Amino acid sequence: MTEDQSEGASDALFLGVDVGSGSARAGIFDAAGRMLASAKRDIILWREGAEIAEQSSEDIWSAVCASVREAVDKAGIDPARVAGIGFDATCSLVVLGEGGAPVSVSASGDDARNIIVWMDHRAVRQAERINATGHPVLRYVGGVISPEMETPKILWLKENMPQSYRSAWQFMDLADFLTWRASGDLARSTCTVTCKWTYLAHESRWDPDYFRQIGLTELADEDFARIGRQVVAPGTPLGQGLTAEAAAEMGLRPGTPVAAGLIDAHAGGIGTVGVEGRPQDNLAYVFGTSSCTMTSTDEPVFVPGVWGPYYQAMVPGLWLNEGGQSATGAAIDQLLSFHPASAEAREAAGKAGQPLPVWLAGQASAAAPSLSSAIDLADGIHVVPEFLGNRAPFADPHARAMIAGLGMERDVDNLVALYIAGISGIGYGLRQIIETQEQAGATVRRIVISGGAGELDLVRQLLADAVNIPVVAVSAEQPVLLGSAILGALAAGHFREMRQAMESMSHMSRECLPDSAASRQTHDHRYNAFRCLQEAGRRIKR
């Protein structure tokens, strides 16, 4: 407890809400970062081919409210003890009409489908045209804007669904939609608009020339009313707290402070990088459906192909570089689905009550003398798992996966080998990002991991060996939820500032150190093979 905390604050609890690609989760935390209870609800995801991914804001809000009510019930607490609420979400584009009614972004015309999901790549051509302008704001997205970002998606909507574009009252990042729905406040988070919308946080402004040059003149002429006139730091209390309507839907007390939110990966960063030294020493690595790397620096570092530098997009007072890959957990699922033994292994995993990748990790751990030696199971098999392009450091949405070394094997042992090759390929992609950042002047001492796949000891060890940097796990069972709860604690005034909250609520659990020189030699060889396959893919495209 800090001296400035009010009497009775020891009873205060904080609610974190996380909306990922497939579910909404809610968690109740105390001021020490201990989670009392959590709950989850699946959300609808419409997929059409490899490019289209859509969701519903109403479906997501319903899942959020149900998760919150269940988490409070499971914790067995008086809802009045929830002193602050924080939200995080994927960086997906929400389109709302007058009064907040959903506006369709779908060829189906269904207004319920009013979210273009982050992984949706329909706006590749718009992104390429924007990049061809060479506009100065692109310096702050690694030199190349991604189709996963919001201005290419809005431009696609204008060109392909002009009625939806014209009828839109607000274009919002999903995290900002959630805070608006909870508080009625239209303020945007510095995190969302800086990282995904080209807001220049270091100058506290939008650049109207950029919007006019790329073909979104109306947004600039309207003084950015549809994308956010007010931009505030994550953790800032919004409006008058929970509205009466939102409080009734969630089963909470009206007026409960609501914090400006974060992108989900950045919430994972807030929930992890406060452990073991300065945030500048720790690379936050969120390993979920996709992966994100967050590197904090004192001064701006420009890294071609790595998003940023973004000022105060995650930790106040620091700049942020963001990398990662568009498919990691999803890439492993895709990779495993190709193998003849996949159905057999999936059945065995089901009987064990485990997801297939978890079951395969267990098989690999049992077959290898040590976690580090599991890499030998993949001898001769190499995977570049870029099924959905290369987000960093090449910023190439057209890149595709490369697999080498497969034979005629059809057994589960060979599937285990393919799984190990896939995980190590993800590790080499991470190493590539870290090396590229180091060459530009952004160095890190350790990787702090969060996300579902990062909970496995085998995965943490393979990543530590592949990158040759220690991988640290935190004690929080769900670090992304913890990051959102930290925002709630800030909005409630329980901590003076973000770093104090991070240090108080996030704690190290264990550290995986890189293995011996012999293992390093194996990984160096495989890393060289990884880069050779990447280059072969680029040559084939050319």
> Domains, the chain, ranges and CATH?
9-262 (3.30.420.40), 329-432+519-541 (1.20.58.2240)
Beta bridge pairs of residue 41: 24
Nearest to 378 by CA among 347, 341, 419, 342: 419
Nearest to 21 by CA among 458, 459, 452, 485: 452
CA-CA distance, 426 to 390, in Å (whole number)? Answer: 11
492 vs 236: CA distance, rounded Å: 9
Extract the tokens encoding 341: 């033994």
Radius of gyration of the chain measured on its C-alpha atoms: 22
pLDDT by residue, tens only, the chain of 542 residues: 344 433 345 689 999 999 999 999 999 999 999 999 999 999 999 999 889 999 999 999 999 999 999 999 999 999 999 999 999 999 999 999 999 999 999 999 999 999 999 999 999 999 999 999 999 999 999 899 999 999 999 999 999 999 999 999 999 999 999 999 999 999 999 999 999 999 999 999 999 999 999 999 999 999 999 999 999 999 999 999 999 999 999 999 999 999 999 999 999 999 999 887 789 999 999 898 889 999 999 999 999 889 999 999 999 999 999 999 989 999 999 999 999 999 999 999 999 999 999 999 999 999 999 999 999 999 999 999 999 899 999 989 899 999 999 999 999 999 999 999 999 999 999 999 999 999 999 999 999 998 878 889 999 999 999 999 999 999 988 999 999 999 999 999 999 999 999 999 999 998 999 997 778 999 999 999 999 999 999 999 88
Contact present, 495 and 6 (Cβ < 8 Å) = no
Q: Helix/strand/coil (H, E, C) string of 406-427?
A: CCCCCCHHHHHHHHHHHHHHHH
Determine the pLDDT at residue 10: 61
What angle (nearest 5°) sits at the alpha carbon of residue 508, between those of residues 507 and 509?
120
* pLDDT tens digits along 422-477: 999 999 999 999 999 999 999 999 999 988 788 899 999 999 999 999 999 999 88
Map residue 357 onto helix, strand or coil. Answer: helix
Cβ-contact 120, 150 below 8 angstroms: no
The pLDDT of residue 395 = 87
CA nearest to 153, candidates 29, 262, 54? 54
Buried b / exposed e across 257-276, counting CB within 10 Å, b at 16+?
bbbbbbbbbbbbbbbbbbbb
Peptide bond before residue 309 is cis, with ω within 30 degrees of 0: yes
Which residues does 306 contact at the CB level (< 8 Å), separation at least 6? 142, 321, 322, 323, 392, 393, 433, 436, 437, 440
Give the pLDDT score at 453. 80
* Residue 451, pLDDT score: 80
**What is the per-residue pLDDT across 13-69, written as a single tens digit (0 to 9) for each?**
999 999 999 999 999 999 999 999 999 999 999 999 889 999 999 999 999 999 999
pLDDT score recorded for residue 518: 74
Helix (H) or strand (E) segment spanning residue 225:
none
CA distances from 282 to 379, 411, 446 (A): 31, 40, 5
Cα–Cα distance between 412 and 201 in angstroms, integer?
51
Report how far residue 27's alpha carbon sits from residue 484's, in angstroms, rounded to the nearest whole number: 9
pLDDT at 400: 95
Edge-first strand listing for the sheet containing 282-287: 307-311, 319-325, 291-297, 282-287, 446-450, 471-474, 508-512
- CA distance linking residue 363 with residue 340, whole number of Å: 17
Q: What is the pLDDT of residue 417?
A: 98
